[in-house]
Amino acid sequence: MGASKDLAGKVIMVTGGTGSFGKSFINELLANHEPAAVRVFSRDELKQHELASQLSDDRMRYLIGDVRDRERLERAMRGVDVVVHAAALKQVPICEYNPFEAVQTNVIGAENIVSAAIANQVPKTVALSSDKAVNPVNLYGATKLCAEKIVTQGNVYAGDMGVRFASVRYGNVVGSRGSVIPIFKRQALEGELTITDEAMTRFWITLEQAVAFVIASLERMQGGEVFVPRIPSMRITDIADALAPDATRRTVGIRPGEKLHEVLLTADESRHAAAFEDYLAIYPAFPFWREGTFPEGGELPPGYSYSSDANDEWLSADEIRAMSDGLPAPAS
């Protein structure tokens, strides 16, 4: 991809910059988008040290801080042009067991991001959401739904300041921590796969695709949108067939807080959404902070929802194997 006009020569801050997405996004920025500086904002000094040892680039800045700390965020955002908010507590069982910790990071943290961006008049902020924010059945999903609403409403607080906020919402990232593909690869060596439910489906996106989608959304955003990529689905049984066709399978049942299928766009949201070639845009119901209209896309049929079990694009076994190449099996 060529250099983005929204990133070239700009100061960009990435919260959660030492995570899987953050590192991939930063590598893409440095390689192809000519930023003036990239600020990593995260809590873990060891991960920042490791990232700094991997990246020899004088445009990098490393700031220790927590999104729960508004004062630190306000200082970190001084002179920033773009914020990509990727910091979150995301492990579903951990969030269930530590609910208010998840609320403080994912909900109060989102409010702090909005407040700090307004205080520093940061032109553009994009926050990363999740398919689990749609009709949430677990606390993680509920916190990400709250975060989406807070980010959208940030445009109201900003008013006519030229400060805008949007979100991106996508599915499971192939090979991310806790992803089923590395787990199946390890279990294949042991000869038995654990299947939650043979009917289960999921949306899937690669890390590279997620990074490209966030950059494209930064270019498209006018404030208040939730951008949803058109991405393929996988059946859990197809992943098993592709990675370990000879292994035995044991059905263990759906875990607490887990869905059989995921949804990226609900029927209610489709009434104020538009379809484009490779993405959907959910527009705020009352965008009274702006003049004019959002870009016109294709109209969605009444009652349309975008769910992983009713998708029109499915990954083949060969595509699943190709996506899994190079992903290490986690230690047992």
**Domains of the chain: which residue ranges?**
11-238+255-324
pLDDT number for residue 318: 85
Extract the tokens encoding 49.
């040290």
224 has a pLDDT exceeding 70: yes
Extract the tokens encoding 106.
């994912």
Catalytic-role residue among 132, 144, 185, 259: 132
Residue in the structure block whose two tokens are 């032109």 = 123
Average pLDDT over residues 7-33: 96
Average pLDDT over residues 64-90: 98
On whether the CB atoms of residues 298 and 275 are closer than 8 A, the answer is yes
Percent of the chain at pLDDT > 70 equals: 96
pLDDT number for residue 35: 97
Average pLDDT over residues 315-324: 85
pLDDT number for residue 54: 95
Residue in the structure block whose two tokens are 């989102």 = 110
pLDDT number for residue 178: 62
Q: What is the pLDDT of residues 32-74, one digit of tens each?
A: 999 999 999 999 999 999 999 999 999 999 999 999 999 999 9
Q: pLDDT class for 83, splitting at 50, 70, 90?
A: very high
191 has a pLDDT exceeding 70: yes
pLDDT number for residue 184: 87
DSSP state of 295: P
pLDDT number for residue 89: 96
pLDDT number for residue 3: 78
Q: Quote the CATH superfamily of domain 11-238+255-324.
A: NAD(P)-binding Rossmann-like Domain (3.40.50.720)
E strands present in the chain: 11-15, 37-42, 60-64, 82-85, 124-128, 164-168, 172-173, 192-195, 201-205, 226-229, 233-235, 248-251, 263-265, 273-275, 279-282, 306-307
pLDDT number for residue 76: 98
326 has a pLDDT exceeding 70: no
132 labelled catalytic: yes
The pLDDT mean for the chain works out to 93
From residue 83, how far is each of 78, 109, 177 by CA, in Å? 11, 14, 24
pLDDT number for residue 285: 85
E strands present in 214-330: 226-229, 233-235, 248-251, 263-265, 273-275, 279-282, 306-307
Is residue 242 classed as helix, strand or coil in its secondary structure? helix
- From CA 272, how far away is CA 285, in angstroms rounded? 6
pLDDT number for residue 331: 55
pLDDT number for residue 13: 98
107 has a pLDDT exceeding 70: yes
Is residue 93 classed as helix, strand or coil in its secondary structure? helix
